[in-house]
Amino acid sequence: MASLVVGSVVWVEDSDIAWIDGEVVEVNGEDIKVLCTSGKTVLVKTSNVYPKDAEAPPCGVDDMTKLAYLHEPGVLQNLKSRYDMNEIYTYTGNILIAVNPFRKLPHLYDSHMMAQYKGAAFGELSPHPFAVADAAYRLMINEGISQSILVSGESGAGKTESTKLLMRYLAYMGGRAAAEGRTVEQQVLESNPVLEAFGNAKTVRNNNSSRFGKFVEIQFDRRGKISGAAIRTYLLERSRVCQVSDPERNYHCFYMLCAAPPEDIQRYKLGNPRTFHYLNQSNCYELDGVDDSKEYIATRRAMDVVGIGSDEQDAIFRVVASILHLGNIEFAKGKEIDSSVPKDEKSWFHLRTAAELLMCDEKLLEDSLCKRVIVTRDETIIKWLDPESAAFSRDALAKILYSRLFDWIVDKINSSIGQDPDSKILIGVLDIYGFESFKTNSFEQFCINLTNEKLQQHFNQHVFKMEQEEYTKEEINWSYIEFVDNHDVLDLIEKKPGGIIALLDEACMFPRSTHETFAQKLYQTFKDHKRFSKPKLSRSDFTICHYAGDVTYQTELFLDKNKDYVVAEHQALLSASKCSFVSGLFPPLAEESSKSSKFSSIGSRFKQQLQSLLETLSTTEPHYIRCVKPNNLLKPSIFENKNTLQQLRCGGVMEAIRISCAGYPTRKPFDEFVDRFGLLAPDILDGSSDEVAACKKLLEKVRLQGYQIGKTKVFLRAGQMAELDTRRTEVLGRSASIIQRKIRSYLARRSFTVLRRSALQIQSVCRGQLARKVYEGLRREAASLRIQRDLRMHLARKAYKELCSSSVSIQTGMRGMAARNELRFRRQTRAAIIIQSQCRKYLAQFHYLMLKKAAVATQCAWRGRVARKELQKLKMAARETGALQAAKNKLEKQVEELTWRLQLEKRMRVDMEEAKTQENVKLQSALLDMQLQFKETKEFLAKEREAAKRAAELVPVIQEVPVVDHVMLEKLTSENEKLKAMVSSLEKKIDETEKKFEETNKISEERLNQALEAESKIVQLKTVMHRLEEKISDMESEKQVLRQQTLLNSPAKKILEHPPIPVIPNLENGHHMDEGNKSNELQMLTPVKKVGTESDGKLRRSNLERQHENVDALINCVTKDIGFSHGKPIAAFTTYKCLLQWKSFEAERTNVFDRLIQMIGSAIENEENNGHMAYWLSNTSALLFLLQKSLKAAGSSRKPPTSTSLFGRMTMGFRSSTSSNNLAAAAALAVVRQVEAKYPALLFKQQLAAYVEKIYGIIRDNLKKELSSLLSLCIQAPRTSKGSVLRSGRSFGKDSPSTHWQSIIDSLNTLLSTLKENFVPPVLIQKIFTQTFSYINVQLFNSLLLRRECCTFSNGEFVKAGLAELELWCCQAKEEYAGLSWDELKHIRQAVGFLVIHQKYRISYDEITNDLRPILSVQQLYRICTLYWDDNYNTRSVSPNVISSMRILMTEDSNDAVGNSFLLDDNSSIPFSVDDLSNSLQEKDFLEVKPAEELLENPSFQFLHE
């Protein structure tokens, strides 16, 4: 180790916490004094301390090869730091170390996390088992080489859970998307509960410890999909069946069966587990938080899942119950010498029950336990066994039964899963027990540690290979590095013929050998072996020096546990069982081997299995996961240094570090090396722009030997980093002294300046105080003179005021008395006058009242007489009032009837106009036909007459014969008269109809003008409600019509339920005439029209052909890019006008919609061209808008409630009329007209909406795909060297980072201009960019949380600058197109804002959550705070109190899987509806749109000119 100086920070070994850090306070040769952080001072040797990296980040590094000092305390401290931050995974090169958190962390293992690690380079993201699995899968796919993942660790370290995670990820990557039944990966995962029930047990360190090794082979096909699997098991701990030490338990299945439902317990004759010998050797019968009865049901269900039938399950649990009953059979001495028999009635009961469960003979079972048959050449000898031997025989039967049962279950699972014989590649996951060292170590620990020694050798070779690859990659010389191997230990254990296993097999074959003789043989054979030793106070134990430490083994049970022979009596008994399952477990042996017990060694068989496993591993590319249990309490947030360090040694991590230290343990990239040690030679860096040259000159100047310069890194030998740090510390110390000297000088100068300034201030204050005292005296003298003057003035004024007040009081009293006397006299005079006036008033009033009374009496008498006469007249008139009331009611009814008729007349006015127009046209055509026919008849008659005249002239008159057919002439004349009469009647009818129409129109206009003002107000109030009702009714009826049409149009129902449909003539575009229209047409035809019925067939065929030609012309036209008119797509408008003219929306059957959908689908096949896709998005969205405004499902129209008032009914009658204020709406209706849509039209609308969503998604995904590669470059700022930046003013060959952000801006601008050029609706543009910005937010934020190198101060500034570019783009694009895009970046904005905050350690948790970053969750804040590190100024993150507060909140919410996920999910849904699109456009926008020029020239499309 390099020389230490005072002030150096080192690690010192500690008996309590393994290693403790401290500062060197004194150096005395090889002895140094260290002041530890605990406060104690220790004196140690320099060879016993390790240097500590004072600049290591407080939260540790994710890859321990990045540590400046790769040694035990550095590794331990790094793991502890990360564990405190809830980072349980750490790399050591390509080895993953997993520390068990003893809590649920669902956010680390959800589907979002698997998606993040899919395809990511190893080491790019945070350490994780998914990264190891992904690396193995990628290597297998890319190179075609089988892979293996070795998961190791002691009991309770989390090996099984890690294996499950690996299986989940491999199923995620290689699982089949669609398969019949359960997939292979599901079956493998579902087999775990069954294997755990029969192969796991509670141990001292773990409640669910696997007592067997498991190697899962997952086979893949050529496409990388899982095609098969197989499970291999190793060394089931059979001795646990019969021997259990306290406080452990036997295998779980025994306790599950004892807690089974009552009917099963009664069937198997079981009871409390305390009553069975194989279970009551320990006092532990139940596990905390585990219900064995529920586990039994769950195991049964798992057996069903993996393909074990109910009969096989019953047989399995019969065997398990029989083993428990066998254990309760006790033996006593029999009548014969050295014989044995069941001890009592209880033993006999269990014997009979065991025989019944195994379906074998009770007597034969007894004989197989108590007797042995020895076959010699001459005879067969039956030998009795003593009670002890009988008990051994019973235990042997129980063990072989359970072992065969477990092997059968494994084979059954393998056969159920199925293997792929054609598979050439696989990934194997090895879940193997870790190194074990207890107080008592028996044969199982010996085999387990042998396994770990073999795997450690394989691990060492792999680590050395990785070191070689690293050195080769960096092109450095490594030929002289020695490889550390443990071959001598393996030779000690398994070498033939002198290894421990060979000697154990030899001892087992001799009947009289004991464990003591075996131990003595070992002592004699290996007395000089450096890895073997004999404990001092033991006669039969031995110690082996393993790679993880010394382990002492007790040989008492080595011989018994190594014997694996099947007793011939047991074999014969169980082979003859009536239960096919039991007999299948013990197939018949060869004839020679069935006569006697055949010896087989478990050690030798296990060694063969192990060799086979290693051969399999050697053909694969290995990956390693080392699981660590941080404490023996199995509780979270507790990290025991000594326990963890021991596991790191047992797991081979320290051995791997030792291999690394043999070469170049310290590897620093050039920029980091220059940043750290550039101050040792600052003159070398001046003006230099080459980091490699700078590193070489720096190392040459400090005269360091043995280093290597690679292509990207500097490689240092062990101890050289400490030597450089020592020199760096000296330079920093000298610099500190200079800084201190300057500071002290500055402080002294500042103190003198302050002292001088203070003296001047004191002097000025004293002089001021004296002047103030003199001035105060002068002021007091002046004040006393003023006080005297004011006092005299006050006294004089007071005397004057008192005299004045007295005189005023006397005057007031005298004047008041005189005034009161005057007032009294006036009151008396006024009272007398009032009395006189009241008396005179009373007398006059009395006289008037008497006179008035007499006059009133006279008037009343006369008026009464006159009123009686009038009453008689009124009684006569009352009889006529009823008739007047009836007349009044009749008039009101007539008014209401006239009003109702007016409403009908108004509603039918438009229909009348259309009917009149059609009738006029038909009448005119009929009149023309009649005139033509009349003309033809007249011409025919004239010809006949001319012919008759010519005949009369030629032939002489012999006999008078009538030439003209008078009958025919009269008939024609009569028909002519009838036609004339009909024409005249029709003309009269037309005139009358025109007159009536004019009168009706005048009346309507008058009434319309009267109700116009009231109508406008009511219509405005009710229009909104009416539209909402119609929209709801349209949607409901549309769904109902679609549902009914779907059911009615099924081929089966058409064939079975409906009779053949008669042929109906087609109309335009393939429509069919309904019955109502047909009857109307027939009624309007005249008799002359029937003459042309023979040509209807040809006319119908020509119409059909013309319709097909029109559709083809439309399809050919709109398929081309025909551009836009007034900002609207011409193709969509032209298509809508044609469909409206052809009445396609009202057709029950038509194929025009299918052709349009097919045309759109073929047009958007080129998904890469955004311009083409934008053109069709504009067309489809515009056409969808027009359909939304036009189509109304049949039967969906609802009449508004009729108003009861006359004015209300008039208003409802005039609602549909037009007015001068609604000219714009009328013009819009000329473009968009509502029609009753049939099923094909509604289906076309749905398909069109689906295409709008599809094209929208294509454009959005194209933009995301274009930005994804740029975002990966924008999340991390390019690394620059501090020394080069400070000295040369520029980085070493780094490009400007702004180009990546500019590329993103260019992509956004390109797409925006494309969408604008194609007039895509602004609402769709807003949604595209909103979702794109949300995608940017998700990608940047997730990358920030998954990469520690991104959570830095400088990287925050880099990303913040890029976000400012995006904000500027949003401002330039304006809200019309950008919308709320900027708000979608809220997560990355707040995260980046936190990174660039200064003095984070002063911020409290409430300030972070409430004020600074309210959007981020606790998990996200915790992740950012723990990953943060300042690469510029080395400032601290938030305080430990804030971290602890976050950890507490996360622990409280740990059961909520959703709440614990700190990653964001990208939303790929469609964020708009058809209503949103309809609200963004208006009908009047299409008023000035011109149809396609190509179709305007076609005569069949003349309607487009209208």
Tell me whether residue 434 is one of the annotated catalytic residues.
yes
Which residue out of 152, 155, 1170, 1332 is catalytically annotated?
Answer: 155
Dist. CA 713–CA 719, nearest whole Å: 17
Tell me whether residue 1180 is one of the annotated catalytic residues.
no
Dist. CA 86–CA 73, nearest whole Å: 20
Dist. CA 1015–CA 762, nearest whole Å: 93
Dist. CA 748–CA 746, nearest whole Å: 6
Q: Find tokens 């034969």 and name the residue.
A: 364
Which residue out of 152, 210, 601, 1461 is catalytically annotated?
Answer: 210
Going 140 to 143 to 146 to 151, the CA torsion angle's sign is: negative
Going 1073 to 1074 to 1077 to 1082, the CA torsion angle's sign is: positive
Cβ(327)–Cβ(280) below 8 Å: no
Which residue out of 436, 494, 569, 1483 is catalytically annotated?
Answer: 436
Tell me whether residue 156 is one of the annotated catalytic residues.
yes
Tell me whether residue 206 is one of the annotated catalytic residues.
yes
Q: How far, in Å, are 158, 191, 202, 530 from residue 164 at the CA level?
A: 10, 11, 20, 41
Which residue out of 22, 60, 156, 174 is catalytically annotated?
Answer: 156
Cβ(1145)–Cβ(1235) below 8 Å: yes
Which residue out of 100, 160, 437, 1125 is catalytically annotated?
Answer: 160
Which residue out of 163, 206, 449, 1150 is catalytically annotated?
Answer: 206
Structural element, H or E, at residue 1329: helix 1322-1346
* Listed residue (508, 545, 509, 512) closest to 526, CA to CA: 545
Cβ(899)–Cβ(1209) below 8 Å: yes
Dist. CA 627–CA 1506, nearest whole Å: 82
Q: How far, in Å, are 173, 748, 775 from residue 115 at the CA level?
A: 10, 63, 88
Cβ contacts of residue 1254 below 8 Å, gap of 6+? 1164
- With helix as H, strand as E and coil as C, how does 656-672 read? HHHHHHHCCCEEEEHHH
Tell me whether residue 1354 is one of the annotated catalytic residues.
no
Cβ neighbourhood burial of 228 (10 Å; 0-12, 13-18, 19+): buried
* Listed residue (1171, 1165, 1160, 1119) closest to 1316, CA to CA: 1171
Dist. CA 212–CA 160, nearest whole Å: 12
Q: How far, in Å, are 1081, 1096, 1140, 1234 from residue 1076 at the CA level?
A: 9, 20, 21, 21
- Find out whether the peptide bond into 1499 is cis, omega within 30 degrees of 0: no
Please report, in angstroms and rounded to a whole number, the separation of the first and last CA atoms in the chain: 99
Dist. CA 11–CA 47, nearest whole Å: 11
Query: In 405-440, which positions are buried (b, 16+ CB within 10 angstroms) versus exposed (e)?
Result: bbebbbebbbeebebbeebebbbbbbbbbbbbbeee
Q: How far, in Å, are 84, 341, 355, 357, 605 from residue 351 at the CA level?
A: 57, 11, 6, 10, 32
> Please, which contacts does 367-370 make with residues 24 or more away whose CB atoms are closer than 8 Å?
367/569, 368/393, 368/397, 368/567, 368/569, 368/570, 368/572, 368/573, 369/329, 369/331, 369/393, 369/394, 369/397, 370/331, 370/334, 370/339, 370/340, 370/341
CA 625 remoteness from chain centre: 28
Tell me whether residue 210 is one of the annotated catalytic residues.
yes
Backbone angles phi, psi at 510, to 5 degrees: -95, 125
- How many helices (H) and strands (E) the chain has is answered by 49, 28
Locate 278 and state its tokens: 């194989």
Dist. CA 862–CA 856, nearest whole Å: 10
Cβ(234)–Cβ(613) below 8 Å: yes
Show the DSSP H helices in 1428-1471 as ranges. Answer: 1440-1452
Dist. CA 935–CA 932, nearest whole Å: 5
Q: What is the DSSP letter of 1500?
A: G
Dist. CA 450–CA 610, nearest whole Å: 9
Q: Annotated active-site positions, please?
A: 155-156, 160, 206, 209-210, 434, 436
